[in-house]
Structure formats: C-alpha cells, structure tokens
Amino acid sequence: MQTTIELITEVFATLLKRPGLKLTMTDSPDTVAGWDSLTHPELITAIEERLEIDFDFRELASIKTISDLVSLIESKL
C-alpha cells in the first residue's frame, strides 16, 4: 500500500514534471525546485482531489514542510 509521502511524491513528480523526484520529510518550497506560489495551488488541489479531502486556509497556512503536509493528510484519513 502506498504511503502518504509516496503519494505526495507521485503528485509532485507528475505536476512538476520531475520523474524520479525523491521527497523527504524535511523538504519545503525552499528545497524542492518548482514548488512555489505558482505551482502550490495545483499541487494541493491534486492531493485534495486524489484523496477526496479539503484543506481550509488555516490548515494550508500550517504547511511548511512535507512532514507538515503528511501529518495534515493523515489527520483527515
């Protein structure tokens, strides 16, 4: 079964057109090329649609790293 970080990695690799991308829990927009304010809404929307969940603004404002995103997703599953 796919782990949460594997799912995020798959979404990021597809949308950022970076096959082979490897994300770690400490990654953030500062360390992942292409993860910026232009791509962020598309990345988040793809995760929301894939898992049929929704994030509110306060939740989105708490995402500083992949670890934060993993925790947020897992709190909703």
Partner 1 sequence: MEIQPGIQIRNAVDSDIEFVIETIIQAEKGNGNSISYCKLFNINELEFRDVLDKILNEKICNFEFSLLNFKIAETNGIKVAAYAAWVEGIVGISSGILKISALKTFLQKENILHYKMSAPVVDEISIRRQPGTIQFESIYIVEEFRGKNIGKLLVEAQLTDLTVKHPEVEAAHVQLMKQNSVSLQAHQKYGFEVIKEKTSLNPQILNFYSGDTRVLMEIKLR
Give me the residues that bind partner 1 (CB under 8 A), please.
28-29, 36-38, 40-42, 44-45, 55-58, 60-61, 63-64
Q: What is the rounded radius of gyration, in angstroms, for the C-alpha atoms of the chain?
A: 11
Report the nearest approach of partner 1 to the CB of residue 5 (Å). Answer: 19
Which CB atom, from 5 or from 43, has the smaller least distance to partner 1? Answer: 43
Instruction: Say how far residue 37 (Cα) sits from the centre of its chain.
Output: 13
Which CB atom, from 3 or from 64, has the smaller least distance to partner 1? Answer: 64
Helix axes 4-15, 66-76, angle to 10 degrees: 120
Which CB atom, from 3 or from 24, has the smaller least distance to partner 1? Answer: 24
Report the nearest approach of partner 1 to the CB of residue 61 (Å). Answer: 5
Please name the residues in contact with 72: beta carbons below 8 A apart, sequence gap of 6 or more.
55, 59, 62, 63
